[in-house]
Structure 1
Amino acid sequence: MHNNKKINCLLVDDEPPALEVLKKYIGAVASLELAGTSNNAVEALNFLSAKTIDLLFLDIEMPDLLGTDLIRTFKNPPKVIFTTAYRKYAIEGFELDAVDYLLKPISFERFLKAVNKVMETNFKESDSAEMNAENPVPHNFITVRADRKNLKIALDDILYIESLKDYIKIVTLSKNIITKQSISSLEETLPNDKFLRIHRSFIVAINKVESFTNDTIEIARHELPISRMYRHEVEKLLNV
């Protein structure tokens, strides 16, 4: 059974007319609930620190802090739909695992298409959670869908995981496996004592790390970047 809980939304835009349009659209969709609005990213950051939000409608070009930079401040950000007048941020937006990227002026039809993506994702996550509750996954392997099969991958065989937009590549001791899944959703299923996020596009197996610097980690002759966002956690765990 799917969860019928409403999706809490926060609107962030420095243009009042744009906020009013999105408020009207949210009010017309029964599954959405407006938790608040903000006209700048810093104010939104304070709001998100105090309340749990399911979905963020986020403008990009705003005073003080870009919307894309706001998302980078979170280790586990809420689902985000970027709303902007500029196409130039599209690639960056999707690299940040955005659900969708809406160009202003935003039509109601296009808004609904983006919201439906969120609802489909929520249903899949709900189904997955119910299956895991009934059939708990042992801590020594994960299961992914690839090549029209469910593949069991031993955690001890994983070297690292790389994000490829809507897909991820799991690099193991013997082969590479590509599956349609976000790196953030897989991260939630991995044990924290065995795996470490070092970049928005990379998770590494801690015991497979061969060498490291302040900026890179080497695993099986692969040199992987450490981003500023995750550097503190990497230094803390690896004692750089």
Structure 2
Amino acid sequence: MTGTNMNCIIVDDDKISRRIIQNYILKTDFLILIKSCTNAIEAVNILQNEMIQLIFLDVEMPEMNGLEFIKTLEEKPQIILVTAHEKYAVEAFEHNVTDYIVKPISYSRFLKAVTKVKSIYDKHLNHNSGLPYIFVKTDSKLIRINTKDIFYIEALADYVNIITPKEKYVVHSTMKGIESKLPNQLFQRVHRSFIVRLDKINSIDENTLVINDNLIPIGGSYRKKLLTQINLI
């Protein structure tokens, strides 16, 4: 299947289930397993530091069950619930999970679910060609910002800083929200807290890049995609 690869995590307290899903992921060329987690608390830490597009999530787990975990997510990746029980299906789809698989899992059922996820993901990327400008609300006014003027965007709690040569705009938005408005062929998430305009990058080191003398960190799971997006010889 063509298109962009998807980073995923497994969240399941059952060792055998984790192993089965992990093996299925390894057989599926567009999936990259970032971490196999034994509980939701561990998954929260991964989501804070990595770019994840898909979660394989169990429901019945200690400390925090899967449905409780979904409620904590401000920016939800696509989610496939994988559980031994059918009884959670209605509530699961109320939380907009992409699919619901009842254990035991066959590879054919797994592949059907992840193909659906991939189709949704690719449509989102293709749709997000982006306009050459965005409007942002600041001081009760709507301000037009040309995307060609944006150096980078930095997360700041419930706000984002949009950095341009002349101004810094503080806007009430999530990173996912602002990212969805930008042309994806020109802008790249390089860290959970940073989006950069690719043609503004001056240099790239192992874990950082430079834009206009500003040092910006590169998250581990973002580096590979960044290198595929730049015009690397």
Partner of 1:142: none
Q: Which residue of 2 aligns with 1:47?
A: 46
- For 1:94, the aligned partner's letter is F
- Structure that is richer in helix per residue: 1
TM (norm. structure 1) is 0.54
Which residues of 2 match residues 23-172 of structure 1 at below 5 A? 23-130=22-129, 132-133=130-131
- Shift in Å at residue 128 of structure 1? 0.8
CA distance in 2, matches of 1:15, 1:57: 13
CA RMSD of aligned residues (A): 2.7
Which residue of structure 2 lines up, in the alignment, with residue 8 of structure 1?
Answer: 7
Q: Which amino acid aligns with 1:31?
A: F
SS in structure 1 at match of 2:89? helix
Aligned partner letter, 2:111 = L
Q: What are the Cα deviations for residues 98-144 of structure 1, in whole angstroms up to 9, with x where unaligned?
A: 010010001101101110111110121112112x347x6888xxxxx
Name segments (4+ residues, structure 1) moved above 4 Å: 136-139, 187-190
Structure 2: stretches of 5+ with no match in the other structure: 137-176, 182-233
- Residue pair 2:25, 2:33 contacting (<8 A) in 1 also: yes
Once the 2 structures are TM-superposed, how far is the Cα of residue 4 of structure 1 from its aligned partner? 3.2
Are the equivalent residues in 2 in contact too, given 1:3–1:123 (CA < 8 A)? no
Q: State the alpha-carbon separation in 1 of the partners of residues 46 and 126 from structure 2.
A: 30
Does the 8 Å CA contact 2:9/2:36 hold for their aligned counterparts?
yes
Q: Distance in 1 between matches of 2:50 and 2:126?
A: 25
Query: How many equivalent residue pairs?
Result: 143
- Deviation of 1:29 (Å): 0.6
Which of the pair has the greater relative contact order for Cα pairs under 8 Å at 6+ separation? 2
Output the CA distance in 2 between the equivalents of 1:76 and 1:64: 21
Unpaired stretches in structure 1, ≥5 consecutive residues: 140-186, 191-240
Cα distance, 1:107–1:3 mapped onto 2, change above 3 Å? closer
TM-score normalized by structure 2?
Answer: 0.56
Provide the residue aligned with 2:147 in structure 1: none
